[in-house]
A and B are shown apart, each in its own frame.
Chain A
Amino acid sequence: MRLSRYILRRLLLVIPVLLGVSIFIFALTRLTGDPVSAYVNEKMTSAQIEQVREQYHLNDPLPQQFLYWLEGIVQGDWGWSRTAAMPVTDAIQYYFPATFELAVVAILIGVVVGIFLGTRSAIKKNKPFDHATRIISLIGVSIPVFWLGLLLLQIFYGELNMFPIKGRVSESYIISGTMPNGPSGFYLIDSLAAGNLVLFGDVLWHLVLPAVTLAFGSIAVILRMQRNSMLEVLSLDYIKTARAKGLDESTVINKHARRNAMIPTTTVVGLSFGSLLGGAVLTESIFSWPGLGRWSASSITRMDSASILGFCLLVAFIYVMVNLIVDVLYAYLDPRVRLG
């Protein structure tokens, strides 16, 4: 199968999943009790609420309601977030960059550290280094994210006072209104684009603890996968050939083995991105990170289901898309997949 046909087929397969997810979330919105609560705010009169009910076709039969709801979702009407006191889509736009920046930095840490440690431990199989990384990966999959975050805060803020306790930038920048203000919403990029290295450093300083907390689980998963696939690759004939023809070990490892071993690892990167978005709910709450995760966590205490379900719908979409990209990338990197 050619790559373009594979991509097309994979794209078409996404449609029923997204539709299914939408039906599921829609069903949940209708099970919450009165669905009108997702669109009203505290100041509305009962006549206005009735008007909203008409406007959103909440008196129609369910299948029709679903179609109107879906139309609303496509057009950007996701209901009213009581927590953020703004429409859900506006809240998502507002909180998205903070979460995305944190998630990207965390996945970068996860990939770089995970692949490095995984490769090394495969080379040093059953040596002390391998055992040490096994312990790291074991802790990584077993430790509760929120507990890890709190411990890191206790140590690096409480005891050592090395890193800040909360937020994306220092309070002084917020008060003086000089925090990064660019089109990307990524404070790292915006501050760098403005040429403000002091601010860039401040942003980076704030990112360290939350990003490490969030990345820890991904490191464990990526490390394991990379180690296993590296061990498999190292046992293949072409590696023997490469060694036999006298290439030095670092060339064999870096040029021949690691590159091919990284291909299966790409699949777990996609999967761990999903758990990262889940972990963001916990990490952001701990580090008062003004992102989607903290917003949805505070929606929970307010029983604001419009916000929670909006967040879940968004995460499901992102998760499906990331895995689509990963699958396509995988097929591109490993032509054997397409033949299957």
Chain B
Amino acid sequence: MAVKSESKVATTLEVPKHSQLINFDEIKAELRPRMREWKNSLGLIRENWTALLGIFMVLFILLMALFAPVLAPQQSNGDPMQIPRDLELPKPPFQEGVPLLGTGGNGIDIYYGVVWGARTTVVTSLYVVLTAALIGLVLGGLAGYYGGKVDEVIMRFTDIFLSMPALILAMAIASILTKSLENMMFALIIVWWPSYARLIRGQVLSVRENTYVEAARAIGSKRNRILFKHIIPNSISPLIVSITLDLGAVALVSASLSYIGFGVGPGYAEWGRMISDGQRWFLSSVSFNGVSYTPWWALVFPGVALLIFTMGCSLIGDGLRDILDPRSRRG
């Protein structure tokens, strides 16, 4: 037995190391402490019930976005983001022969709009935040690591953008573009990248003083390798927290922009737009089957959906902040 196993070891050792395209052992060894860290973090999330609640809320919206065609099948061909409507007066929810959540202005199907609106919000927020974070990561990393003129130029740019409130800056940029969802996302990316550049720069400045960075430099690693392999991976935790919190913030600002008239047109499955469409009927009264109603549903349901998403992001972000920072964990 013992001899057999020894020979097995010998045969594996015979394979010359350089012939393997990818050295899995090395990668595994490098990943192990990180995986352990992630597992540890996951365990901590399970104990943090507010973060769990947040995950549950965001997951709910994500699943709604993902399964929109199943949850609210399209009734006719054409753009699925245009909410089907019957052009009649608003009808109350939970009634026989009426769409589940009632109908709003122009008779739009509120349930359909809320479900497909999840797609708009999730896609917009993810697209804006991830693009902004990527731009911020690169520019902030460069500014922090190289310093000097590069730093000076990039930081003065961020100063300018950060000297205006997010909604106002987005308004300014959107005001010169034609109204569309793509242009709104473009405006939001311009608004959001500077805060990421700032964040990463600060992180890089503090991380690069660590001994392991000095060690990497001492063994002759190239500057870009040090930046992308040692500094940025170790600066990432606050970035993750920021991304989570900003997903909610971007959802809020983009809904606000749609509400005041930037972005998508009437009848589009976007929660802010639906609220502004529903506002036309708000405080008036309609009668259905002889009972008179104030059409609250056209406002309330899209708003609740938006609140679930933004609140969920906030809860996860706060939870992650506590979990990902090992210092606050030990304290």
Contacts and interface: CB of A to CB of B under 8 A. Distances in A.
- Interface residue range, chain B: 35 or more
Contacts of B59: none
Contacts of B313: 142
Q: Is the interface of B mostly helix, strand, loop or mixed?
A: helix
B173 interface: yes
A25 B172 CA distance: 8
Contacts of A141: 310, 314
A144 B294 CA distance: 22
Contacts of A279: 167
A21 B176 CA distance: 16
A111 to B, nearest CB: 18
Interface string B290-308: 0000101001100100110
A300 B306 contact: no
B167 A281 contact: yes
A279 B172 CA distance: 15
A277 B303 contact: no
A114 interface: no
Contact of A24 (B160, B255, B260, B307): B160
Contacts of A23: 160
Contacts, number: 137
Contact of A308 (B164, B175, B259): B175
B248 to A, nearest CB: 6
Given A297-B260, A312-B169, A157 B303 contact: no
Contact of B283 (A139, A154, A308): A154
A31 B75 CA distance: 41
A278 B129 CA distance: 20
Contacts of A303: 175
A144 B172 contact: no
Given A21-B164, A154-B296, A308-B175, A139 B311 contact: yes
25 contacts: A16-B156, A20-B156, A21-B160, A21-B164, A28-B173, A28-B175, A28-B176, A32-B175, A138-B315, A142-B252, A144-B259, A144-B303, A147-B299, A150-B299, A154-B299, A275-B167, A277-B168, A278-B166, A282-B256, A300-B171, A300-B260, A303-B175, A309-B175, A316-B163, A319-B163
